[in-house]
């Protein structure tokens, strides 16, 4: 796969080098030549100094035949414009943009772009780790708005229905694993202590789960 990485900051370096290590043809664009010094010594992709908004620079990078482009500079407006041009003018199949400042995310969304915000996602994960006891995330979609969680049923919930634990408007159960065997659960399945439940949920869904866990535990204490 031929991938163009626009921006050779810390994120761009990690992305470009990771793609290179997996055998992809990587081209890195940055307006500052010194930025390429951050790339590991064994990086063998191409580097192009120049403004990513320049048609000539994009042509030198081979955008006409690129399979993917990632705009990961620390300038959201630049990321948006470069990505938009890649999508609309050059029909690059896969385009992803970095959102550096969460306040500008609506602008990026207005372009209909695939967005990754390390700031928003990082804040979401730290918040979750700080106080979401019992359930931990095993997969994060988007920027953490919806995540898949794993939860081990505690003794206090033995004999209760799954529907009592998870509100279906905020959480969607994916599987229940019991004695090493996973099944697709129904709302009426009776839980047993030690069952492993996987479910997708919003942060509101996790808050609701935490509240229910406390309620049942207090009643049966």
Retrieve residue 22's tokens. Answer: 């997996």
Q: Which is it for the CA torsion 106, 107, 108, 113, positive or negative?
A: positive
**Residue ranges for the chain with pLDDT beneath 50:** 132, 218, 221
CA-closest candidate to residue 114, choices 105, 126, 122? 105
In terms of residue numbers, what domain contains 173? Answer: 122-220
Q: At what angle do helices 203-220 and 118-131 cross, to 10 degrees?
A: 0
134-160 burial: b if 16+ Cβ within 10 Å, else e = ebebeeeeebbebbebbbebeebbeee
Give residue 131's pLDDT.
53
- Strands 135-141 and 146-152 turn out to be antiparallel
One domain, residues 15 and 110? yes
Give residue 124's pLDDT.
67
Give residue 69's pLDDT.
97
Bridge partners, residue 45, by sequence? none
One domain, residues 48 and 142? no
One domain, residues 166 and 86? no
pLDDT digits (tens, 9 = 90+) for 17-65: 999 999 999 999 999 999 999 999 999 999 999 999 999 999 999 999 9
**What's the CATH number where 214 sits?**
3.30.70.1450
One domain, residues 140 and 203? yes
What's the CA gap between 121 and 90, in Å, rounded? 30
One domain, residues 39 and 139? no
Give residue 216's pLDDT.
59
Listed in sequence order, the residues at least 6 apart from 213 whose beta carbon sits closer than 8 Å to its beta carbon are 134, 154, 156, 157, 165
**What's the CATH number where 51 sits?**
3.40.50.720
Indicate the residue among 66, 86, 116 that finishes a domain.
116
């Amino acid at each position: 796969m031929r991938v163009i990485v626009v921006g050779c900051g810390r994120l761009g370096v990690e992305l470009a080098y990771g793609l290179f290590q997996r055998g992809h043809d990587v081209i890195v664009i940055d307006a500052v030549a010194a930025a390429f010094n951050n790339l590991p010594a064994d990086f063998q992709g191409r580097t192009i100094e120049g403004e990513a908004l320049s048609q000539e620079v994009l042509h030198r990078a081979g955008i006409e035949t690129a399979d993917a482009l990632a705009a990961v500079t620390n300038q959201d407006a630049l990321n948006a414009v470069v990505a938009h041009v890649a999508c609309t003018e050059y029909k690059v199949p896969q385009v992803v943009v970095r959102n550096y400042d969460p306040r500008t995310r609506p602008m990026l969304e207005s372009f209909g772009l695939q967005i990754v915000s390390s700031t928003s996602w990082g804040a979401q994960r730290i918040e979750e780790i700080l106080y979401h006891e019992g359930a931990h995330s095993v997969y994060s979609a988007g920027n953490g708005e919806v995540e898949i969680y794993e939860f081990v049923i505690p003794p206090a919930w033995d004999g209760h229905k799954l529907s009592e634990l998870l509100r279906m408007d905020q959480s969607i159960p994916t599987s229940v694993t019991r004695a090493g065997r996973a099944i697709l659960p129904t709302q009426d399945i009776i839980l047993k202590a030690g069952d492993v439940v996987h479910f997708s949920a919003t942060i509101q869904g996790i808050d609701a789960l935490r509240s229910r866990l406390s309620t049942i535990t207090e009643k049966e204490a």
